[in-house]
Chain A
Amino acid sequence: GAVVSQHPSWVICKSGTSVKIECRSLDFQATTMFWYRQFPKQSLMLMATSNEGSKATYEQGVEKDKFLINHASLTLSTLTVTSAHPEDSSFYICSASVGTSGITDTQYFGPGTRLTVL
């Protein structure tokens, strides 16, 4: 099956620092990658959708200048949380899919990155 990796799996940082999270599709080329955030006991909330070589599409309420997404290749997308604050502490999960015409089918999820901002 399709495998998606994320790095790092967990990170603790001081308030005000920036954190970069990588998402890689290991055995397939992902047309689209998604970034989600999940707070404790809540469901996944889509933050943004990114396609290789183009700007990410952010969901309403997600600050694009704070959550920088770069989709450099068909196998790599990065999310940078800039000037992180304690309220940004969350479980960040990426997913990747292979689809055509902008319509995706199954999403394959990475193992997630647990961010704790002190």
Chain B
Amino acid sequence: RKEVEQDPGPFNVPEGATVAFNCTYSNSASQSFFWYRQDCRKEPKLLMSVYSSGNEDGRFTAQLNRASQYISLLIRDSKLSDSATYLCVVNGNTGGFKTIFGAGTRLFVKA
């Protein structure tokens, strides 16, 4: 089992749609969680951190469920510019610091 698993994409949605991505992680000692966005042939850019209490930034909402070891990202009112690969990232410090990236979920938003 992979340490961080994400929905296999790609997701093809029309503009204005709401889309949700899921991510599960295997290490219960993981300490911090993030969603990054990566455009084609570019570096990842931080989209948002993920907290147990949930956090929202405009059209984006992230949730963390530690009991289920599950992270989600919800995008409302999708824009064409949201088309990208979304990476789930998990940090832990068990036996040495470790950052694990999920394989990413590709999103295509169409007009």
Residues of A whose CB lies within 8 Å of any CB of B are 32, 34, 36, 42-46, 49, 57, 91, 93, 102-112, 114
Is the Cβ of A102 less than 8 Å from the Cβ of B93? yes
Residues of B whose CB lies within 8 Å of any CB of A are 31-32, 34, 41-46, 49, 87, 91, 93, 96-104
A42 to B91, CA, bound (A): 19
Is the Cβ of A44 less than 8 Å from the Cβ of B44? yes
Write out the residue numbers on chain B whose beta carbons fall within 8 Å of the beta carbon of A110. 43
The tally of CB-CB contacts under 8 A between chains A and B is: 50
A91 to B42, CA, bound (A): 9
Is the Cβ of B93 less than 8 Å from the Cβ of A103? yes
Is the Cβ of A43 less than 8 Å from the Cβ of B103? yes
A10 to B32, CA, bound (A): 32
Is the Cβ of B91 less than 8 Å from the Cβ of A104? yes
Nearest chain B CB to A30 CB, angstrom units: 14
Is the Cβ of A43 less than 8 Å from the Cβ of B42? no
Nearest chain A CB to B41 CB, angstrom units: 8
Chain B: CB-nearest residue to A40: B41
Cβ contact of A103, chosen from B31, B44, B49, B104, cutoff 8 A = B31
Is the Cβ of B91 less than 8 Å from the Cβ of A111? no
Is the Cβ of A106 less than 8 Å from the Cβ of B42? no
Write out the residue numbers on chain B whose beta carbons fall within 8 Å of the beta carbon of A104. 91, 97, 99
Is the Cβ of B42 less than 8 Å from the Cβ of A46? no
A111 to B43, CA, bound (A): 5
Cβ contact of B101, chosen from A43, A49, A106, A108, cutoff 8 A = A43
Contact of A42 with B103 at beta-carbon distance under 8 Å, contacts A103-B31, A104-B97, A106-B34 already known:
yes
Nearest chain B CB to A94 CB, angstrom units: 9
Write out the residue numbers on chain A whose beta carbons fall within 8 Å of the beta carbon of B99. 34, 46, 104, 107
Nearest chain A CB to B6 CB, angstrom units: 9
Write out the residue numbers on chain B whose beta carbons fall within 8 Å of the beta carbon of A107. 46, 99
